[in-house]
Amino acid sequence: MERTHTNGALRLKDVNQTVVLVGWVAKRRNLGGLVFIDLRDRTGITQIICDESTSDSIKDVRNEYILQVYGIVRERKDKNLKLPTGAIEVQATKVTVINKAETTPIIIADETDALEDTRLKYRYLDLRRPVMQQKLFERAHITKVIRHFLEDNGFIEVETPILTVSTPEGARDFLVPSRVHPGSFYALPQSPQLFKQLLMVSGFERYFQFARCFRDEDLRADRQTDFTQVDIETSFLSEAEIQELMEDMMCLVMKEVKGLDIARPFLKLPYFEAMNRYGSDKPDIRFGLELQDITDIFKESAFSVFNSIDPKKGTIKALVLPNMAESSRKDIDQYTAMAKKYGAKGLVTIKYQDSILEGSAIKFFNETEKDQLINRLGLHKNDLILIIAGDWEKSCEALGALRNYFGKELKLYDPEIFSFLWVVDFPLLEYSFEDQRYYAKHHPFTRPKEEDIPLLDTDPSMVKAAAYDMVLNGFELGGGSLRIYDQSLQAKMFGILGFTPEDIKRRFGWFIDAFQYGTPPHGGLAFGLDRIAMILTHSESLRDVIAFPKTASASCPLTNAPTPVDQKQLDELSIILKDHN
């Protein structure tokens, strides 16, 4: 189709050129003998001006019609500074309607007022909106920069299967019934973890893939059932070398996509410090408001909430909120409810309104405790102190959730800032009292820190993993680890996790077998591409950077997926449905 320019291209320098434009009618302003049309394509909007002589049918043109416009570029009398093309307009000499359009159910403009449900039902129209187009263009730009970076650094792109085998320990799998093998199922990959490790066994040394991953778990604003991982694995690199390479990559993305120079190297925060100071393993360090430990002050406390905690695993954590001492009863009830939601037993609140400690817990404190509290927390007039006592992890996380809430509520950070860091030194294992066994915190192939390997025999819970998460503004962008390549170490790991040899053979024998033929030291990580795109585009939800996302209940308003299928299809798959009525 004849077209000389896009609708975002023309400028003052093009005046008097003869041009041919195509695009959608974004807006028509009919002044009677004179008609203005905003012609839109993915690059922008150009104003077309027509008079009655141009075409009789011009008054029949409606929004979202597709037009081909022949005309001459003119300088505008009244320029529109809001548009890049606002200095010019195209005086139409001929206008052809390429296609008509029904009235759209949603307004095609950045400021659509349609609810998300409606937007998803008519996603193809929602994606016509310039803001949405910009988000997807930006996502594609991120993808492009990452791919170029990895290719330039010797990484090879390899595809791994979508129909694969159910993997051990992790999220719920999506299963696909086999027609050929009745009663057997493929699983969709939660990540290509095992395949990428096998590619290291094969000797590719540097692998990457934009991998679709699937997890059958409940959705959130930042979680979808199917999502895209930038999956990366390397051989012969140390933890520090992998991290440096990934910093190079993300800094290039920030430079190319956002035009920002990010400070190097990224802060490396050990897991325990992240939890103690920020109450999160993915801390938002754009603002301070750090948690403080006051456990030792109240060792001998007369206050039952403080003296009933387990001295080994328990903790007392405080969060000081400046100028919040005048919070109402209602506000404080709300903070308490929030703390409880995140697993705290309760919330102790103390006001330092007129430089005097006030609160229902104060009567249990002696003078030494009061003095120590004031000094330790460095209290100022009008501070509000929130205290959570109990299990270390739960207390930190609950207070960390409050910290995040106040960081946002009190606008303690500039939303344009991007604060990267690594969280490192994660514990290798997590003990479940319920199941009376250890679970791998990352996955069972994660390598322990070299110096902690002897602890595997004596105190497994103290062993740290060679695992690392890249964190940005309170979101986990990605995470990874060095992997176990030594077979005896792997055997020891399985022993600690309580797997019998039969378990191992049945569940991932095919994977372990590969390791006996010369496995290089290897490690890698995976980034959540959707999350990167979400944060860089300042989107509220992952759904805004995914072309066709699913709703919170894992359905698609556009296609109505998932849907029932014909009995014939079920029969072929040897599936008999349980009666849900």
Partner RNA sequence: GGUCCAGUGGUGUAGUGGUUUAACAUGCCUCCCUGUCACGGAGGAGAUCGCGAGUUCGAUCCUCGUCUGGACCGCCA
Token look-up 């890049």 returns 84
CB closer to RNA, 31 vs 263: 31
135 binds RNA (CB under 7 A): no
Cα 113 to its chain centre, rounded Å, is 25
- Of the ranges 79-87, 268-276, 282-290, 498-506, which one interacts with RNA (CB under 7 A)? 79-87
563 binds RNA (CB under 7 A): no
Return the beta strands (E) in 332-463 as ranges.
348-352, 383-391, 420-424, 429-432, 437-440
Provide the pairing of β-strand 314-321 with 292-293: antiparallel
Q: Residues 193, 228, 419, 490: which binds RNA (CB under 7 A)?
A: 193
CB closer to RNA, 217 vs 358: 217
Query: How far is residue 365's CA from residue 577's CA, in Å, rounded to a whole number?
Result: 63
Return the beta strands (E) in 102-250 as ranges.
156-157, 175-177, 185-187, 206-214, 226-235
CB closer to RNA, 267 vs 561: 561
Q: Who contacts 507 (Cβ-Cβ below 8 Å, separation ≥6)?
A: 168, 499
154 binds RNA (CB under 7 A): no
Q: Binding string to RNA for residues 274 to 313, with x set by CB under 7 A, is what?
A: ----------------------------------------
77 binds RNA (CB under 7 A): yes
Sign for the CA dihedral angle at 536, 539, 541, 544 comes to negative
Q: Residues 6, 17, 43, 63: which binds RNA (CB under 7 A)?
A: 63
Q: Who contacts 124 (Cβ-Cβ below 8 Å, separation ≥6)?
A: 558
490 binds RNA (CB under 7 A): no
Q: For residue 104, what are the CA distances in angstroms to 7, 152, 264, 304?
A: 22, 45, 48, 64
Is the separation of the CB atoms in 165 and 187 below 8 Å?
yes
Long-range contacts made by residues 564-571, C-beta under 8 angstroms, separation at least 24? Answer: none
CB closer to RNA, 341 vs 506: 341
Tokens describing residue 355: 């430089």
State in angstroms the smallest separation of the CB of 467 from RNA: 9
State in angstroms the smallest separation of the CB of 558 from RNA: 11
Is the separation of the CB atoms in 209 and 157 below 8 Å?
yes
CB closer to RNA, 385 vs 534: 534
Q: Residues 76, 212, 345, 507: which binds RNA (CB under 7 A)?
A: 76
Respond yes or no on whether the N-terminal peptide bond of residue 520 is cis (omega within 30° of 0): no
87 binds RNA (CB under 7 A): no
CB closer to RNA, 349 vs 446: 446
CB closer to RNA, 304 vs 563: 563
Q: Residues 103, 304, 360, 581: which binds RNA (CB under 7 A)?
A: 103
State in angstroms the smallest separation of the CB of 133 from RNA: 18
- CB-side exposure of 427: number of CA atoms within 13 Å? 17
CB closer to RNA, 72 vs 332: 72
Is the separation of the CB atoms in 552 and 120 below 8 Å?
no
State in angstroms the smallest separation of the CB of 550 from RNA: 7
- For residue 377, what is the enclosing H or E element? helix 367-377
State in angstroms the smallest separation of the CB of 312 from RNA: 22
State in angstroms the smallest separation of the CB of 265 from RNA: 26
State in angstroms the smallest separation of the CB of 557 from RNA: 6
Q: Binding string to RNA for residues 29 to 48, with x set by CB under 7 A, is what?
A: xxxxxx-x-x--------x-
Q: Residues 486, 541, 558, 573: which binds RNA (CB under 7 A)?
A: 541
547 binds RNA (CB under 7 A): no
Q: Is 246 in a helix, a strand, or coil?
A: helix
Query: How far is residue 332's CA from residue 519's CA, in Å, rounded to a whole number?
Result: 57
538 binds RNA (CB under 7 A): no
| C-alpha gyration radius of the chain | 30
Q: For residue 257, what are the CA distances in angstroms to 3, 112, 185, 512?
A: 29, 26, 41, 41
CA angle at residue 268 from 262 to 269, to 5 degrees?
125
Q: How many residues bind RNA (CB under 7 A)?
A: 68
170 binds RNA (CB under 7 A): yes
The residues in 361-420 that bind RNA, with binding defined as CB under 7 A, are 401
State in angstroms the smallest separation of the CB of 499 from RNA: 13
CB closer to RNA, 280 vs 301: 280
State in angstroms the smallest separation of the CB of 304 from RNA: 25
State in angstroms the smallest separation of the CB of 452 from RNA: 17
Give the count of beta carbons closer than 10 Å to the beta carbon of residue 129.
19
Is the separation of the CB atoms in 527 and 229 below 8 Å?
yes
CB closer to RNA, 242 vs 357: 242
Query: How far is residue 463's CA from residue 449's CA, in Å, rounded to a whole number?
Result: 7
The residues in 201-240 that bind RNA, with binding defined as CB under 7 A, are 215, 217-223
Is the separation of the CB atoms in 552 and 219 below 8 Å?
yes
Respond yes or no on whether the N-terminal peptide bond of residue 161 is cis (omega within 30° of 0): no
Q: Residues 49, 142, 245, 525: which binds RNA (CB under 7 A)?
A: 49
Tokens describing residue 242: 């992998």
CB closer to RNA, 295 vs 541: 541
Residues that bind RNA (CB under 7 A): 27, 29-34, 36, 38, 47, 49, 51, 62-63, 76-80, 82-83, 86, 89, 103, 105-107, 112-118, 167, 169-172, 190-191, 193, 215, 217-223, 341-343, 401, 430, 439-444, 541, 543, 551-553, 555, 557
